[in-house]
């Protein structure tokens, strides 16, 4: 039975372990350690200008961290699909070995020295999968079904999940296997996840240009609907895990502006609006974590491609232990 401690008229919930995703102002009494604790978040996070990529493009892929990243593929103008590949060392971008197949609107994940990309569009939908070893790209097993305009979990070169119609597939390092479809099929959705048994999918179009706010999580066998985004959007950027994620940028034909800059943060149960980024854009790439990440490239409302990079820093938070005086 749940019990409470009365602290100056405030009901404090008793728990045996600290909550995994507390909200600002939340307090609790940990009966295991026999201390009362509180959680504070003292700002809404921030975006800052970063170093521009060398080649302007949208529908671009990214992987790695804010100190060691990789950006590849995409589109520089309508009809053009590029093979360009750049690495980030925390200070500057350097062009390195190109993809074997130019593409846009694909899936990808990994680090700056070990990445994977799958599917996308060239002159037709692709099933081609390539892996990056830090110096070159190598073709590996194709997807079972050629596809584009989908999203991927943030796994590794041996663990990745792609979701979005017509089929969802899981990669084990050597082959692809079809898995359960989400409850709501969408294209150009965003998402995150740590591997092929734990993923989060949000937003997208059902069908375009009707933007969706739907959020679903995957547990390795089935999808469960969760709390919606505050702002429906598709063709944006997102990353993180099933308990800590970000959604930003994108396009929604029914909002003003229709290229939103709103940033939303997921804590495992709900979305909270955070600080907006500066440049309106859709089809940008992203990499990093929900605590520190990059938004790279994209296409602004006026059209064309961007080299613009913005860097996200999460809200400063702390857990405070209260002691008797």
Give yes or no for residue 25 having a pLDDT over 80: no
Taking residue 178's Cβ as centre, other Cβ atoms within 10 Å add up to 12
At 56 the pLDDT is 97
Angle (nearest 5°) at CA 134 between 291 and 295? 30
DSSP assignments along 82-135, one per residue:
---EEEE-SS-EEEEPPPSS--BS-EEEE-SSSEEEE--BSSSBB--EEEE-SS
At 323 the pLDDT is 65
Q: What is the mean pLDDT of residues 41-64?
A: 92
At 217 the pLDDT is 94
Sign of CA dihedral 247, 252, 256, 257: positive
Q: Assign 3-class secondary structure to 36-95.
A: EEEEEECCCCEEEECCCCCCCCECCEEEECCCCEEEECCECCCCCCCCCEEEECCCCEEE
Q: Please tell me which residue, 315 or 281, carries the higher pLDDT value.
A: 281
pLDDT band at 61 (very low <50, low <70, confident <90, very high): very high
The predicted-structure confidence for 143-185, as pLDDT tens digits, reads as follows: 999 999 888 777 777 778 887 778 889 999 999 999 998 898 8
The predicted-structure confidence for 26-49, as pLDDT tens digits, reads as follows: 888 889 988 888 877 667 899 999
At 3 the pLDDT is 45
**DSSP β-ladder status, 27-30 and 35-41:** antiparallel
Distance CA 303, CA 319 (A): 45
Distance CA 139, CA 94 (A): 23
Q: What is the total residue count of the chain? A: 325
Number of H helices, E strands in the chain: 0, 29
Taking residue 276's Cβ as centre, other Cβ atoms within 10 Å add up to 14
At 256 the pLDDT is 66
At 35 the pLDDT is 85
At 221 the pLDDT is 92
Distance CA 309, CA 93 (A): 11
Instruction: Give the closest residue to 202 by CA, choosing from 136, 141, 256, 265.
Output: 265
Kindly list the distances between the CA atom of residue 11 and the CA atoms of 14, 32, 174, in Å, as whole numbers in the listed order.
10, 18, 53
Give yes or no for residue 324 having a pLDDT over 60: no
- Across 67-71, 239-243, 256-260, which has the greatest mean pLDDT? 67-71
- 40: phi then psi, degrees, rounded to nearest 5: -130, 145
Q: Please tell me which residue, 311 or 206, carries the higher pLDDT value.
A: 311
Distance CA 19, CA 40 (A): 13
Residue 25: DSSP 8-state: T
At 70 the pLDDT is 98
Sign of CA dihedral 219, 270, 187, 75: negative
pLDDT band at 20 (very low <50, low <70, confident <90, very high): confident
Q: Is pTM, for the whole model, over 0.75? A: yes
Instruction: Give the closest residue to 29 by CA, choosing from 324, 300, 268.
Output: 324
Residue with tokens 């500066």: 278
Q: Give percent above pLDDT 90 in the chain.
A: 67
The predicted-structure confidence for 102-124, as pLDDT tens digits, reads as follows: 999 999 999 999 999 999 999 99
Kindly list the distances between the CA atom of residue 128 and the CA atoms of 139, 171, 189, in Å, as whole numbers in the listed order.
7, 13, 20
Distance CA 166, CA 260 (A): 27
Question: How far apart are the two ends of the chain, measured CA to CA in Å?
Answer: 30
Residue 285: DSSP 8-state: E
Q: Is 232 helix (H, G, I), strand (E, B) or coil?
A: coil
At 141 the pLDDT is 97
Q: Please tell me which residue, 313 or 316, carries the higher pLDDT value.
A: 313
Give yes or no for residue 89 having a pLDDT over 60: yes
At 4 the pLDDT is 42
Contact 182, 226 (CB under 8 A): no
Q: What is the mean pLDDT of residues 237-263?
A: 90
Q: What is the mean pLDDT of residues 63-70?
A: 97
Start and end residues for every CATH 2.120.10.80 domain found in the chain:
46-313
Give yes or no for residue 194 having a pLDDT over 60: yes
**What does pLDDT average to over the chain?**
89
Instruction: Give the closest residue to 278 by CA, choosing from 244, 312, 231, 255.
Output: 312
The CATH classification number of 46-313 equals 2.120.10.80
Q: What is the mean pLDDT of residues 297-323?
A: 88
Q: What is the mean pLDDT of residues 121-149?
A: 95
Distance CA 192, CA 153 (A): 5
Q: Please tell me which residue, 44 or 311, carries the higher pLDDT value.
A: 311
């Amino acid at each position: 039975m749940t019990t409470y401690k009365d602290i100056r008229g405030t009901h404090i919930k008793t728990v045996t372990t600290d909550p995994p995703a507390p909200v600002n102002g939340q307090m609790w009494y940990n009966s295991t350690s026999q201390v009362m604790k509180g959680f504070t978040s003292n700002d809404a996070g921030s975006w800052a200008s970063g170093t521009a990529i060398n080649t302007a493009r949208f529908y671009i892929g990214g992987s790695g961290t804010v100190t060691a990243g990789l950006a590849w593929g995409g589109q520089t103008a309508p009809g053009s699909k590029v093979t360009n590949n750049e690495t980030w060392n925390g200070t500057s971008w350097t062009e390195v070995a190109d993809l074997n197949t130019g593409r846009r609107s694909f899936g990808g994940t990994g680090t700056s020295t070990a990445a994977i990309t799958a599917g996308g569009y060239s002159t037709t939908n692709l099933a081609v999968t390539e892996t990056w070893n830090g110096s070159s790209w190598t073709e590996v097993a194709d997807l079972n079904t050629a596809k584009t305009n989908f999203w991927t979990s943030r796994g590794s070169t041996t663990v990745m999940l792609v979701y979005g119609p017509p089929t969802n597939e899981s990669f084990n390092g050597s082959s692809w296997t079809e898995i359960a479809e989400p409850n709501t099929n969408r294209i150009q959705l965003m998402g995150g996840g740590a591997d092929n048994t734990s993923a989060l999918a949000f937003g997208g179009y059902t069908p375009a240009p009707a933007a969706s706010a739907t959020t679903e999580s995957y547990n390795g066998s089935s999808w469960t609907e969760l709390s919606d985004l505050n702002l429906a959007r598709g063709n944006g950027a997102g990353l993180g895990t099933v308990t800590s994620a970000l959604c930003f940028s994108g396009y929604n034909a029914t909002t003003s502006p229709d290229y939103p800059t709103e940033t939303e943060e997921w804590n495992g149960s709900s979305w909270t609006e955070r600080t907006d980024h500066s440049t309106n854009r859709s089809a940008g790439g992203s990499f990093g974590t929900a605590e520190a990440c990059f938004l790279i490239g994209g296409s602004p409302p006026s059209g064309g491609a961007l080299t613009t990079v913005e860097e996200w820093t999460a809200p400063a938070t702390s857990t405070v232990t209260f002691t008797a005086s």
